[in-house]
């Protein structure tokens, strides 16, 4: 499957500069399609979940349970910015966290696919325990999470750098020996 790296590589091969407006429209369309699948799986047949979504999103709970009659569709269709799309999806995440937490992984996996196919969109999905939050790319909290995970990993392997240090010492030692033997030959 295509992902951010492959898409960027393809663009580079064609020397293509993506149009931000077109890329936003593609992102919103991808998100609408994915949101419809999530809605149909987790909301359509469950009035309480639809009511919870309406409460979180500040939209009305339609008596018609179909996606295209939902407040979620209205929010996504009207969205003009990355934030507005992400805000609508964050309401979905909060609803899933509260109403069907055992489906949060599946929901996040589907949404992550949209972000992978939308490399110009500066937003990312981050999981922490039983929660999922959308962040702007480069957000301080997300950076802290990434750095903290790496530091925790590195702390488990305190000697990970030693081979590199030893190799440098060996190279230095060998270089000094060569220089000395070169002087002796002269």
**pLDDT tens readout for residues 61-117:** 999 999 999 999 999 999 999 999 999 999 999 999 999 999 999 999 999 999 999
pLDDT number for residue 101? 96
Tokens (6 digits) for 54: 């309406």
Is the pTM above the cut of 0.85?
Answer: no
User: How confident is the model at residue 5, as a pLDDT?
Assistant: 86
Q: How confident is the model at residue 11 (pLDDT cuts 50, 70, 90)?
A: confident
Mean pLDDT is lowest, of 52-56, 114-118, 152-156, for 152-156
Helix, strand and coil percent figures for the chain, each rounded to 5 = 70, 5, 25
Q: How confident is the model at residue 137 (pLDDT cuts 50, 70, 90)?
A: confident
Q: Please determine, for residue 183, whether its predicted confidence score (pLDDT) is greater than 90.
A: no
What is the reported pLDDT for 112? 94
Question: Looking at residue 154, what is its pLDDT?
Answer: 63
Cβ-contact 98, 117 below 8 angstroms = no
Q: How far is CA 28 from CA 117, 134, 140, in A?
A: 11, 15, 25
| pLDDT value at residue 3 | 80
**CA–CA separation, 34 and 128 (whole Å):** 22
Under 8 Å between Cβ of 49 and 99: yes
The whole-number pLDDT of residue 12 equals: 87
């Amino acid at each position: 499957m295509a992902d951010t790296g492959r898409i960027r590589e393809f663009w580079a091969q064609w020397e293509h500069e993506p149009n931000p407006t077109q890329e936003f429209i593609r992102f919103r369309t991808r998100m609408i399609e994915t949101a419809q699948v999530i809605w149909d799986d987790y909301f359509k047949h469950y009035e309480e979940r639809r009511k919870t979504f309406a409460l979180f999103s500040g939209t009305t709970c339609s008596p018609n349970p179909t996606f295209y009659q939902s407040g979620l569709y209205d929010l996504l269709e009207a969205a003009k910015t990355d934030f507005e799309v992400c805000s609508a999806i964050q309401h979905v995440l909060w609803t899933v966290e509260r109403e069907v937490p055992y489906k949060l992984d599946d929901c996040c996996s589907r949404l992550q696919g949209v972000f992978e196919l939308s490399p110009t969109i500066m937003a990312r999905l981050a999981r922490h325990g039983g929660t999922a939050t959308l962040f702007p790319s480069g957000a301080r909290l997300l950076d802290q999470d990434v750095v903290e995970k790496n530091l925790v990993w590195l702390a488990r392997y305190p000697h990970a750098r030693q081979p590199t240090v030893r190799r440098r010492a060996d190279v230095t030692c060998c270089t000094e020996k060569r220089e000395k033997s070169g002087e002796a030959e002269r």
